[in-house]
Structure formats: structure tokens, C-alpha cells
Amino acid sequence: MGYLLWISIFFVVYFVFSHFSSSDVYQESVKELDKTLSELTSSASFPQGLAHLSSATLANAQRFVLEHLIHVLPLSDAHLRAFLTATIEMELDQLSGTENNCLDAYLNKLTLQKTSLIPAPDRKGFMKDLVLSSPDIAPIKDFTKYAVQEILKRRCAVSCISTVETGLDILSNAIRRRSLSDNNLLNERLSEEKAPMNVELLLDLITWNHWKSRNLSYFIDKRTLRLVSGASLIFCGPKDQWMKVFQGLNISAERSDNDFSETIELLLLGCIASRWNCLIEHFMSVSYFSLTISEQYHQVCRLVMGRSQTLNTREQTTNSKESGILEYLTGQLGSQQHQLWKLSPALAAAAIPTWSPLLRLYMTEMEIQFKGDFSAIRYCNCTQDMKEHKNCELAERIWCLYIFHVCGSHLLHGAGSA
């Protein structure tokens, strides 16, 4: 039913505005419509993405509805048949104004275009065609040609996405196999009579590789990439608009702890969506280092303390969107900082900058865990067992903070963060 409804809207918009705007009789009505639309779009609560709505853009609604039908809705056989039928009927209606026999005229046009109807779209440039659009969009003159062009673009887009997903699956599987291989190697070495120092070094290296593989797997997971894409879309608008989106999400989150965790995850991803590729490249480039977790922890503490004492107002102003997201997130968390520990250690480390009070709250809980002080939630028992933090969850979170804030400070605090 949804698809047939869109087809009906398509016909109504096309018929009304193609005749309405082309007739001198209705020019006063067009002016009244523009005046009403201007008052409507000037409202603070009106979506900014539709701020340029006018009779001129509505007259071109046929193109927008066509694009929506092709690129957004699923094109099953029934949907595709209904869509092409509507397209042909619109073109016949258009030809009926100039041709006595519109059906013959349409068939003759198809015959002339048969050999060169549409060139195959360029796989490298199809995204540019989909994203970039001129503010002055000419009305569609050849509906059939336009429809086939857009269908081929969608086919190309689906093919490219499928290729990317296949590549991500191969990479993820390779990372998992590498982690299993490292574990097998460790078990083999532990069964051999080797010097304890060599075994200890091997254990550190394998733990390091395991953390890197697990957090990298999070970054390139298809679910994560969908969330990044969604976060980019949500946060491209002004703060008051994306806050309304999250107000709706919070109603659902109140009923589910998992929903609340996903809301927090989406907010943090919004902070780093524009730096996504740079962060992954940095994470991949970091080589093994032999600092103990205790040494890494104290270096991170010194960095956070130093930057909090010399708070850079200009840096916060430069990252006003990020600052707004983190301020909103801090308010939503309240006293539930433990929710951050449900997320990927790499996400929390990469998304929360040192100038944010949220990082100091995160580090406060980390200090409690590190020293083994009383906490309502215990993430490791290393201190109680008189062990050094090496391969526990706390150690992994400290390691991620060190990777991004100490090794990658140029990404989070320099020009690379823009």
C-alpha cells in the first residue's frame, strides 16, 4: 500500500503543478501559495532541510518523488512494475498535449533511443551524481529515459555497496583468524620449555594484537558503519533539531537499558563521524610498544589533568558541534557513567576529548577500578587478587586512551580534528 500511495502522490503533484504553474490564470494563486509557504518555512520549528520550499520547488516535485521511489524504497518486481507503469503514463500524458497520437509518438521515441538510451553509469562517479544537485533543477522532459538512468544508478550503487560489504567481511574474518592464530601460538609456546621472559613478552604482544583486532573489528563492523552514517545525517542539522530526534529516542530508552546504550553510542559516533577514516588509519598505524599499563595510565592522567588546567576555550569553540553533543550526553548520563563501560573501549577513547568534563568522569571511575577502591560495579579483580592490570577490561580501556590521546593527540587536539 505504501508504494501505491507514493505513486498516487506522484500523479497528483505532477498533474497539479505542471498545469497550475504553467497557466497565467493561476498566477495570483501561485503568489498566495508562495506567501503561505514563506510564512511556514520561517517558523523556528520548521525543518531546515526544507527551508527553501516554494511553488518552484514543488513544480519540480516530480523529480524528487521519482528519486525517492527509486533510491529509497525497496524495488521489488511489483514495485518496479507499478513505478514504470506510472512513468510511462506520465510521459503519455505529457505527449498528449502536443501529439495527436501520443502512443505512436512515444513508441517512435523509444525506437529512436533504443540503441543509445542510456550509457552505463560510471561506478567511480555515481555517488557524486547522487549527492551533488543544482539548485535550479529543470523539469523532466523524458520520464522514461530519466527513470532508466536512475534505476541503473541504483543498480550501480547496490553493486558498489555489495562489493564494500564483501571486502569488510573478508577483512573482519582475516582479523578473527589472526586473533585465533595468535592464541594458538601462545598455547604452543607455553607448552614449550622457554625462558619466562620470552613467554611474558609473547603474552604481552598477543594481548596487544587481540585488543587491536577486537577494537578494529568494531570500527569496520557493518552495524557500526550504519550507525556512523545515521549519526552523520542526524547531526548535520542544528542542535535544536537533533535534540528533538533524541528526545524521541529517550522515550524508548527509558523502557530498555539496551536502547539507552545505543543512544549513547550514537551520540559518541556523532562526535567522530567526520574523522572516521583518520581515526581508523591512526589506529592501524600504531605499532607495538612495551610500556606497562600502569605507565600508560599515568601518562594519560597527566595529559588529562594538564589540559583541564589549561582549558582551551578556542578549541571548544572550534568544535562547537562536538561540544554540544558531549554536553547533551553528559546531561543524559547523569550519574550513570557506568553506561560508558558498556561501549567499545576504542569508541569511548576516540570520541571523548580531554577538554570534556565527561572524560574526567570516565577517568574518575577508571581510577577507582585501577586502585581497587570500593565501587558498585567491579570490572576486574586484579587488585583483589594482587595482580597487575595486564589483560583485563580496565587495561584494555587504558590502552585505548593511550592510543588515541597520547599517541594520537594530533588527531584529537590538532588540525586533524577539524
Domain ranges in the chain are 2-40+51-158, 193-417
Most confident of 113-127, 297-311, 387-401: 387-401
pLDDT of residue 119: 52
Average pLDDT of the segment spanning 256-278: 89
Task: Tell me: pLDDT of 134 over 50.
Answer: no
Lowest-confidence segment of 276-280, 320-324, 384-388, 394-398 by average pLDDT: 384-388
pLDDT of residue 403: 94
Average pLDDT, the chain: 76
pLDDT band with cut points at 50, 70 and 90 for residue 387: confident
Average pLDDT of the segment spanning 3-26: 57
Most confident of 45-59, 265-279, 373-387: 265-279
Task: Tell me: pLDDT of 302 over 80.
Answer: yes
Max CA-CA distance within the chain? Answer: 97
Task: Tell me: pLDDT of 190 over 80.
Answer: no
Q: What is the pTM of this model?
A: 0.65
pLDDT of residue 19: 58
pLDDT band with cut points at 50, 70 and 90 for residue 5: low
pLDDT of residue 369: 87
Task: Tell me: pLDDT of 408 over 60.
Answer: yes
